[in-house]
Structure 1
């Protein structure tokens, strides 16, 4: 599954240059050029890290980080044309993982993004009630017992745990879990995988409490007490 980098930057040439540079490194990229577009991009999910400009048409990158941190620990590297330490302090206090001032070295920026991704991968253990997913080891457990999951089921479970309580549309799930590998699948494939995953994580798969169906739209992961 390709690692996806989000680039939220109002300078079109820089935005396209960063997309091309990360693409040459083997990453998938998505981009936005305004505050509103950036907000929609972050809400859509599916990214593994974000490069975010401090100043955007229609709003501030700081405000985007503030909103993002209400629901996600997605790694963020913030860019700014200013050199004020106050900006850096403000960004770090809001939860920015790294900070670079323009102009910057592309090689250094790429190295810092790789470092953020590696740190997240090494420390990524997702927990929801008695369900845990250790992304670095590719292992999921329920009440301490290992779950025998296929690679697709593991990725799906991890994606649910990364977005607890949030409606994930069928299209989002298909694009995130399957399409990034270039495999065409339909909604029936998703439904079958959901059914198999429920058998393994639900107490009563016939009356699921964790993976809730939102009819006509998609699914939602419901947090459960241990």
Structure 2
């Protein structure tokens, strides 16, 4: 497992590198926001992010890195301020550590994050990541707001990637018995609303495809 270390303090960066490698992790070490954007966001299983960087703040950096891929993060800071903590968690931080900290404690927190990540189910389709336990959907690392029916529809499609789902299938699964009483275009209307939120171009969908005369399919061609 690879951990990205984003810390401008050279001594602390080196200490983290040694401690993590001794614990069996691979590491990629950077010291600035510019280096992080250039080198990170591809293979790491976790990021350690210093909030105060010489060329920007770590919270904004993490927001940009998550556009590449949804990566867990633990934020490091010398400031024990509630506002910083809330901002970090709002951005999706998995934990928050105030300097100075014990390497043993940090390793325990890293293990806890990996354990949570391994236990949590995720459905993915290209740039879409859906977390059933949290009822959250991310597109290129950015959370998108869906209505209950839009979310249920997307989850149903993603659990059946590559399969053609008829309107009848969808009505029965998403609307249940109520599906007997909804209007005929309910499914297509909900599909169109969902497309506007996840498709780069709703009129030329890349994710949810119409299968003429049959229904809808996500993934595959």
**TM-score, length of structure 2 as denominator length:** 0.57
Deviation at 1:16, TM superposition (A): 1.0
Name the CA shift for 1:4/1:223 in 2 (closer, same or farther; >3 Å): farther
The one of 5, 8, 32 aligned to 1:7: 5
Residue matched to 1:36? 34
Deviation at 1:62, TM superposition (A): 1.1
Counterpart Cα distance in 1 of 2:105 and 2:206: 39
The one of 54, 57, 61 aligned to 1:57: 54
Counterpart Cα distance in 1 of 2:39 and 2:77: 20
1:109 equivalent to 2:135? Answer no
Residue matched to 2:19? 21
- Superposed CA RMSD: 3.2
Deviation at 1:103, TM superposition (A): 0.6
Kindly indicate whether the alpha-carbon contact (under 8 Å) linking 1:76 and 1:97 is maintained by their aligned counterparts in 2.
yes
Kindly indicate whether the alpha-carbon contact (under 8 Å) linking 1:128 and 1:223 is maintained by their aligned counterparts in 2.
no
Map of 1:74-223 to 2, 5 A cutoff? 74-128=71-125
Counterpart Cα distance in 1 of 2:123 and 2:81: 36
Kindly indicate whether the alpha-carbon contact (under 8 Å) linking 1:10 and 1:53 is maintained by their aligned counterparts in 2.
yes
Kindly indicate whether the alpha-carbon contact (under 8 Å) linking 1:19 and 1:29 is maintained by their aligned counterparts in 2.
yes
Q: Higher Cα Rg: structure 1 or 2?
A: 2
Aligned length: 142
Give a deviation string over 1:91-146, Cα, whole Å, max 9, x none. Answer: 111111110110111111111111111111111433228xx9xxxxxxxxxxxxxx
Counterpart Cα distance in 2 of 1:95 and 1:68: 12
**TM-score, length of structure 1 as denominator length:** 0.56
Name the CA shift for 1:56/1:128 in 2 (closer, same or farther; >3 Å): same
The answer for unaligned runs of 5 or more in structure 1 is 133-162, 165-200, 204-221
Residue matched to 1:188? none
Counterpart Cα distance in 2 of 1:223 and 1:107: 46
